[in-house]
Each structure stands twice: as C-alpha cells, then as structure tokens.
Amino acid sequence: MSRIAAAFAAARDRGRAAFVPYLTVGDPSPEGTVRFARALVAAGADVLELGVPFSDPIADGPVLQRSAQRALRAGVRLRDVFEVARRIREESDVALLLFSYLNPLLRVGAGVAARAAKRAGIDGVLVTDMPPEEAEPLRRVFRAALLDTVFLVAPTSPPARMRRAARMSTGFLYVVSRAGTTGARRGLPAGLAPTIRRARRAAGGLPVAVGFGIASPAAAAAAARLADGVVVGSALVAAAERARGDPVAAMARLARSLSSACRKVGR
C-alpha cells in the first residue's frame, strides 16, 4: 500500500475524510515552504500537495497565480521543489503529492523527474494538464518509479472519461467541484453530490477526494460528508498572503479548523 493510499485508509478508520492542503513550493521561499508544511502537518494534514510553480498555470485562479509568480521571481525551479520535499520527508511521514503542469516535468525529462521525485520522498504525481486519453506513456514512467498517479475529473466529465481517469489513478481520484479555475468560493455547488456519486461508480474502491473552491470549515464539512478527501489550496495561501502578523500562524489557524471539519457526521 502506498503512503497516499495508507493516509486515506487511516483517515477512514478514524471516521474522517483525509485533509489534503496545497502549497506552492517557493512561496515566499523554499525555507518558508518548509515552515508552512511543518505547520500544516501539525494541524492535521493527511496528504500534502506540493505545487510546482509554473508561468502559465491555466487551472489556477488569481491567488495561486500570484503564489506561483512569487515563487518564480524567487528563482524556484523543479530541482528546488524536490529539495523542499526532501526536507519535509526528513521531518515527517506525511504523504506527499507532486502537483504540476506537464511542461516543467518534460523540460527535465519525465523519467528524470519521476526518479528525482521518488528519491526526494514524494509519493505521487498529479499533472493538471495531462488528459487521461493521452497519458498512458507518462503514467507508465511514473508508475515505474513507484509513484501514484492521480487524475482529475469534473462535473462535465462524461462517464467514459471518468472510468478512464479512475482506471489510471492510484492513491485517489480527484474530483474538481466545479468547472473553471481554482479559488475560494462561498459554498459548494448544488450539483456536487451527483458528480461525486458518478465518480464513486467509476472509481470502484478507489478513494475520491474533492477540491477547487473549498474555503471554509462549513464547506469542508459538507465536502467530507460526500467524499473521502477534502483538498484546500487557495484559501490557505490567501490566509498567509493577507496575514498582518505571522503568515505561518495564519495558515495554521485556518488549517486546524479545516482539518477538524473533516470529521464525518456522528463520529
């Protein structure tokens, strides 16, 4: 069982959805990312998504775009992401998921990136702009390095695409809560429950996590009632971005409330 699969299984056994926070590596600095990661693990993170900063993040909303720009201006590249992952792994057994666009991986070579990710202690890879219909050659490269491969499905995904994405996923299947980019929203979309039911049918026994737009404990609790995992990115990055005092403390406060909200009703 991979570390990601084990994290979801352990969360289920504790009567909760897995809490999956996201960080852009290098925002505000590699050292700052390690401090944020430390705080998120202490707050209850089950899986930590490590975002590779990219200059054209088409799936990201304004908050994560700014985060990536800050990291790129600081000179952060893929090798720095792996170094940050290595430092986190030295301190923690938290499951680590590399969240990347395809271009940074292809620039160094998919096989080189996969092996470097594994050596750094990363457990899986999610490539946001890699459609499942075209992903089999790269999926084989990642799996050969013993990395989980996580694919995205959306409310607009037809059943055949959901089934294909689920077949190619290990660790969990990621359900995008709504069409569009990342970013905090006031609540969950009305049609999310049917989308997750469709994803569960496609996934079989594979855990299903939901993300994009989850910003508050109330939204996290609602998502936890539907899915096996709750992914939060923009809200956490925004909490640090607008903090007047310690950004690590600001992110940690929100993370603790989100993690607590992932408890299943009645547990």
Q: Which residues are catalytic?
A: 49, 60
Residue 178 amino acid letter: R
H/E stretch holding 162 reads: helix 159-168
Alpha helices in 78-215 (DSSP H): 78-91, 102-108, 110-120, 136-144, 159-168, 192-203
Neighbours of 103 (CB within 10 A): 13
Cβ 218 vs Cβ 261: under 8 Å: yes
- Return d(Cα 257, Cα 267) in angstroms, integer: 16
What's the chain's length in residues?
A: 267
Q: Report in angstroms the alpha-carbon separations of 121 from 3, 86, 191.
A: 10, 6, 37
Neighbours of 183 (CB within 10 A): 19
